[in-house]
Chains A and B, each alone.
Chain A
Amino acid sequence: MLWIVLLGIPLVGAFFVLSVKDSAAKTTAAVVAALEVLAFVAFLVGPKPTLDLNWISTWGIRFHLSADGLALFLLGLTAVMTLVAILASKPEYGRTYFFWILFMEFASMGLFGAVDLFLFYVFWEVVLIPVFFLLTGWSGVKGRVAALKWLIMNLFGSLFMLIGVVAVAVIYQENTGHFSFEISHLTHLAIAPAAQPWIFGCFALAFAIKAPLWPFHGWMPDAYGESPAPVTALVAGVLSKFGVFGFLRVMLPIFAPEMARYETGLLIWVAAGLVYGAFMAVRQKDMKMVTAYASLSHLSMIALGIFSLTAAGILGATFLMVAHGLMVGGLFLILGVVEEKVGHRQFSGLMGLNQGAPRLATYFMFFALAVLGLPGLPGFAGEYMIIQGLVVHEVVFAVIAGVIMVLAAWYMLRLFQGIMQGRPDAPAVADLSRGQVAWLIPVALLVVLIGVWPAGITSHAVPSLFHAVHFVAEQGGIN
């Protein structure tokens, strides 16, 4: 029942928003998103039911949603970031814009909750559509190109994943004589050795493109650069988690032996992305791009934690997913405010905004420090756990991750200096308005909260996690 509410509020709300006047759209959407946050809180404190309905019984497909510790806080992240993004949007975007935002929330909630592979895939692909239209209708000059790149690249991966989904189900059917798409049933598949790398690759490709992980990030610069700040915040904060979440939710159970076998290769791959993202972030002149590549680097860090196949590493990845969503989302929203005030995104000159806008500078500093991994803030806790997981038996990658954390300080402080510090005679800009502070404070408070109390998240995640890691070990993998 609670699941129906969780999915129903954004879906019904989206169509309701479509029926109100443009002028009332933002308020209505905000109310819907706030209700969704309340529903999530009810979900968090109360019992956590699952929803399991027959859907397409001929193929054994079930409408099965469940929130274990891995997904629980990603649901919360989606609810909170959607609300904040709506509050940060301009009312004049109109009702269709808010419709797509809420529709995206619906698809995201469904994706994080899905434990049926078919259902997972449906939400996986549905979520592409709102972003496509948001990029097409409400973004900068190159928005249409960005939208096309987003959809084509992501669908390229998704369609191969669809082959993978069907292949897994067909193999299951041939093994057992009946159909099932339930992820927990699809473990222990006897996949022919020749087919293993291909099916594994189909899934990995889709997840790597959606995240994005290097070198599949071709859509990222345009999409992040062109979309309005709230949409960037949602794509970078929430949607980017789909890819790494997919590795956890789908690949770890189904392809545990393959994951263990390809581990070194996977680690080298994402470590390359980690280094690439960091160095790209250092040399960007566009402030959104610095954050975009920083985000790419952090997503590689999360993937590094997952591929370590240790409890600590995966726990750190789970934690960092939530933290990264809040931090990067907040940072993109602040950059949106800055862009609006100065009218461009270049920061080559020292702009000195902190002269006239101390509040803006403070919040900016806060999120920048969170992203670069200052101890006490959640970035540090997550990265620490990941490195701890890597140290156990992949020391080289632990060293690489540690070095890249230093680079993070470089690019983030460079960004801060470039925008906020500089000439005392710089032209003053208006500071954050009360309304803007009102939606920044909750994000900042949440970041502080999970920074000083990571156990709030990790204690929920540990039970699901031990199950997953135990499973890997049992499959003759590691430890």
Chain B
Amino acid sequence: MRYLIPEVVVAGGALLALLAIVLVPKAKSLGSWIVLLALLAAGIDAATMWHVTASLFMSNTLAIDQYSILVTELVLLAGVSSLLLAWDADRFGDEFPVLLALSVLGMMALGAAANLMVIFIGIELLSLPLYILAASSRTQAGGEAALKYLLLGAFSSGILLFGMALLYGATSTLSFVAYPSITSANTWLLWPGLALVLVGISFKLAIVPFHMWVPDVYEGSPTPVTNLMAFGTKVGAAVILLRLLAFGFYTQDGSWGTLIGYLAVLTMIVGNLLALPQMSLKRLLGYSGIGHAGFLLVGIATHSVEGAEAMMFYLLPYGLAVMAVFGVLRLIEGNGDEVTVGDLKGMAYRRPWLAAVLIVGMLSFAGIPLTGGFVGKFFLLQAALFASQPGLAVGIVVGTLVGLFAYLRPLQTMFQRTEPSEKVQKVRWTVASVVVLTVAVVGTIGLGVYPEPFVHIVSHSADFYWLTGG
């Protein structure tokens, strides 16, 4: 059970924090400290078991390999950044760190899932705390967002579960890693089942046409929670989609590869296109997150080791850019929840460092060289062309170009020579946000200037195509 320690530490941290809130109600930030330490400890522990031999545990329900470890590190990064972004605000409530840790635990489970039931548990564990967190600002918009998220989330969970039931009916097992060896599956149940599971995961990943909930939920939720949704949820949903298709259905790639390819192109273009007219920065980022989900799908659609590596690589620069941009938003919004593009006026002259962070984040989203986003796009293009799918490559280019307009508009607004908005003038740096922004900027530029180490890491983590069965 050595390999479950990170999960246990996070779960234990959440429970301990819950106790602390009840027993020592006066120590406001005690819960946050406990969760922060638990997340960091889990991260360190996960890192020490990097050289694990990939294998299945607990009656073939969990797969512990470099893939799951990398996912653990990514979602812990998402969790820590969200926690730090919410650090000084009392208004999110004492239970904030507890729920956050549980949600992160769900994401970690998704990284290691080798069984349909674990997928479902992971997705529910990820989502349920987020439904509550979405409303934690206790505003009307937050309530609306939470309700919308809850209803659509429950709906998609139902579809997911139904699909899993069909898959079980077709194969008589929930262990999807065993599917390739089953030759007598009932295809009348198998394909509808897989389709429904894909729909369920697509909701979480926000793939067009299952993306409708994203902008409203992103806009209404508090910024730290949005950060967790944009980074952590996307990581969790993307990696489980890849794991499910690559482990369970790799022998039938012809049936889903093309479909995922079309969805990828559609998502890249539509997501970025819808980001164009947005005035609220969070909505803009919501749509851009949809577009980025499309880029992630490209890696899956190529159905190759390069594609899997490229997708795993893309997650980190994407997440770091999310941290940078939401970190800046968090500083600008103060005690509100809403930042529009117009609020950025004059920021480049009044708050040059904050503007610099936003520039780095946005340029990484846009995939400009010297940022991690560029290397990610390059990696994906390479995977697409190696798989002889120039259509996907053109899709990446078109999606990037459309998205560019959306990312450039806030940057241009920052350079307007007008009196800065009140929000920009009142910005107050906090230690926690400086940590988040520093990690995000250094990481983004580091990945752009010297990506070799991380390329090396993902090349190990995605080396699982030939691990099948148990």
Contact = CB atoms under 8 A, between A and B. Distances in A.
Interface of A: 55-59, 96, 121-123, 125-126, 128-129, 132-133, 136-137, 144, 147-148, 151-152, 155-156, 159-160, 162-163, 166-167, 169-170, 173, 198
17 contacts: A55-B450, A55-B452, A56-B455, A58-B459, A96-B348, A96-B352, A122-B374, A125-B368, A126-B370, A129-B363, A152-B404, A159-B397, A162-B378, A162-B397, A166-B382, A169-B382, A173-B386
A151 B404 contact: yes
B369 A58 contact: no
B412 A147 contact: yes
Interface string B354-383: 000000000100001110001001100110
A137 B415 contact: yes
A198 B382 CA distance: 16
Given A56-B451, A159-B401, A122 B385 contact: no
Contacts of A173: 386
Main secondary structure of the interface of B (DSSP, over half): helix
A121 B412 contact: no
A359 to B, nearest CB: 34
A59 B458 CA distance: 14
B385 A148 contact: no
Given A162-B377, A162-B397, 11 more contacts: A56-B451, A58-B455, A125-B374, A137-B415, A137-B417, A144-B412, A148-B408, A151-B408, A155-B401, A162-B381, A173-B386
Given A121-B369, A126-B370, A148 B412 contact: yes
Given A163-B397, A169-B382, A126 B369 contact: yes
Contacts of B444: none
A57 B452 contact: yes
A179 B459 CA distance: 15
Contacts of A166: 378, 381-382, 385, 393
Contacts of A160: 397
A159 B386 CA distance: 17
Given A136-B415, A163-B397, A166-B393, A152 B452 contact: no
B397 A137 contact: no
B415 A152 contact: no
A368 B450 CA distance: 46
Nearest to A144: B412
Contacts of A152: 401, 404-405
B91 interface: no
Contacts of B456: 58
Contacts of A151: 404, 408
B394 interface: yes
Contacts of A55: 450, 452
B329 to A, nearest CB: 21
B412 A125 contact: no
B115 interface: no
Given A57-B452, A148-B412, A155-B404, A163 B369 contact: no
B393 A163 contact: yes
Nearest to B356: A18
B400 to A, nearest CB: 6
A137 B348 contact: yes
Given A152-B405, A159-B397, A170 B382 contact: yes
A163 B381 contact: yes
B390 interface: yes
Contacts of B385: 163, 166-167, 170
Interface string B444-460: 00000011100110010
A59 B450 CA distance: 12
B401 A133 contact: no
A130 B378 CA distance: 22
Contacts of A136: 411-412, 415
Contacts of B404: 151-152, 155
Nearest to A138: B415
